[in-house]
Amino acid sequence: MYKSVLTLLLGLLLFFAGCQSIQKVGDGVQSGELVVDVASSGIASLLQDKPQILIARENLLLNGIAVLFEVTLNGIVVGNLGNGEKAAYSVGPGIHQLVVRNRGPDGSWSNVKGSKKIELRDGSRYFIISPAMGWTTGRIKIKEVSLDIWKKN
């Protein structure tokens, strides 16, 4: 009995360690602090006067860690987010279309995506994105949240 439990625990430990090693890394940042002015990788400066769309990809243990989420604003690809990463994109006031697509483990496209129309006036807006399962297919959930909730994610 003792050997069986020990073998099971060791197997689970190796499984979870292996899952973490296949996690894809995007061009967002992992910590709660955003990098200041890395515009070349799609992360905009937090010090600009323009309103921003700030996105955090939910940090999930096993669900979708081997895929990147491609972030598109107004038809232009602005970055890729890995599990638990965050990014900020400076945009002008107005209506913007946010589309997040799932890139499969091999980098190919899938039909899994989520989209949201966002109206910015004078302040920044905060979103958390996460994979979700619909009735017949997967999708990406885009949820608007407060700054406090966004920071905790």
The 10s digit of each residue's pLDDT in 38-54 is 333 444 444 456 788 99
**Is residue 37 scored above 80 in pLDDT?**
no
27, pLDDT greater than 90: no
Name the 3-class secondary structure at 27. Answer: coil
**Per-residue model confidence (pLDDT) at position 62:** 65
Average pLDDT score over residue span 28-40? 46
Dihedral sign, Cα of residue 65, residue 136, residue 144, residue 103: positive
Q: Are 101 and 79 in contact (CB under 8 A)?
A: no
Is the distance from CB of 152 to CB of 146 less than 8 angstroms?
Answer: no
Mean pLDDT of 121-139: 84
Report whether pLDDT(91) > 50: yes
Q: Within the chain, what is the greatest distance between any pair of CA atoms? A: 64
Per-residue exposure over 106-126, b if at least 16 CB sit within 10 Å of its own CB, e if not: eeeeeebbbebebebeeebbb
Q: What average pLDDT does the structure give for the chain?
A: 74
- What was the pLDDT predicted at 55? 92
- What was the pLDDT predicted at 20? 47
